[in-house]
Amino acid sequence: MGQSCCSDYKIEKSKEINFTQQNPFNYVQQDNIKNQDYWQIQQNNELRLKLLKANIQTSKSTLKIPVINNVQVKETQQKLGEYMISTSISNEGIEITPPIQFDNGSVYVGGLKMDQFQGYGELYWEDGTHYCGQFNKGYKTGYGRLIYSDGDAYEGEWLENQIHGQGKYWYANGGEYEGRFVQDQKHGFGREKYVNGDIYEGEFYQGIKSGRGKLIMSHATVEGQFQQNEIIEGEYKWNDGRRYVGQFKESKMHGNGEFWFPDNQFYKGL
């Protein structure tokens, strides 16, 4: 996964940084509109404008949301399209700050409560990493999207700055995973598509394939019990009609099993 960018921040409302001026409420390029419904995007922009409309003032009012120049981040933005905010989200009853900068150069705009990030907000780092979504008591908690500086991205549920719950992770190299996460790791049922086109559907445990699952490859399908990313017992079916049912070691036929040929002849043994 992309590098971690979760840390605690002390609110300082007197900082200023000279970024290129940018409309903070239209950060997605117009080219993305072709991939999403135009009117849906318009409604989303209106909701974002409402959620980020400042109701407090800072000592410096010239700070703007930074322009993202990281090529990998921009490519991921283009691929994913605009982050769509749930209409159930509200920043009513809390402070909403205009863009403020922290000592590490990051910029935040959005809800505040007792000087902690709260409600909907957006956080931008100097390397192009940025998060749009929900916060609670200063942490990324709820639903949101994070795009990392290396082009990886995640959208889904968060708990106290960790990927936790249901979500989807896109790798910059073209792979992707959709399913359950626990404390920043794939954990539970999920579906992972690899760069070479292989697809795994099944159980994960602390980031590795473990439990019941199915691996679909270009030449064969493997289904059964996985452990430490390897099939240990199950069925291996080749596209040409061959089939093996039994035990495996290091993902190779090993132990008790039956091997069936396309003409229905079979061999049984160790």
| Closest residue by Cα to residue 259 from 269, 47, 37, 250 | 269
Distance CA 7, CA 216 (A): 39
107 — pLDDT class (breaks 50, 70, 90):
very high
> How confident is the model over 103-110, as a mean pLDDT?
94
Say yes or no: 22 and 136 in one domain.
yes
**Residue 189 counted as domain residue:** no
Same domain assignment for residues 88 and 210? no
The answer on 209 and 152 residing in a single domain is: no
| 107 and 234 inside one domain | no
Number of domains in the chain: 2
Task: Give a yes or no: residue 190 inside a domain.
Answer: no
Last residue of a domain, one of 184, 217, 239: 184
What's the whole-number average pLDDT of the chain?
88
Let me know whether 99 and 29 are in one domain. yes
The band of 57, judged by pLDDT with boundaries at 50, 70 and 90, is confident
What span, in angstroms and rounded, lies between the C-alpha atoms of 73 and 69? 8
Q: Determine the pLDDT at residue 28.
A: 43
Q: Do 100 and 227 sit in the same domain of this protein?
A: no
- Domain holding 243, by residue range, is 196-270
pLDDT of the residue at 62: 67
How far apart CA 220 and CA 235 sit, in angstroms, is 10
pTM of the predicted model as reported, rounded to 2 decimal places? 0.85
Domain CATH for 265:
2.20.110.10
Q: How does pLDDT run across 108-133, given as a tens digit for each residue?
A: 999 999 999 999 999 999 999 999 99
Residue 35, domain member (yes or no): yes
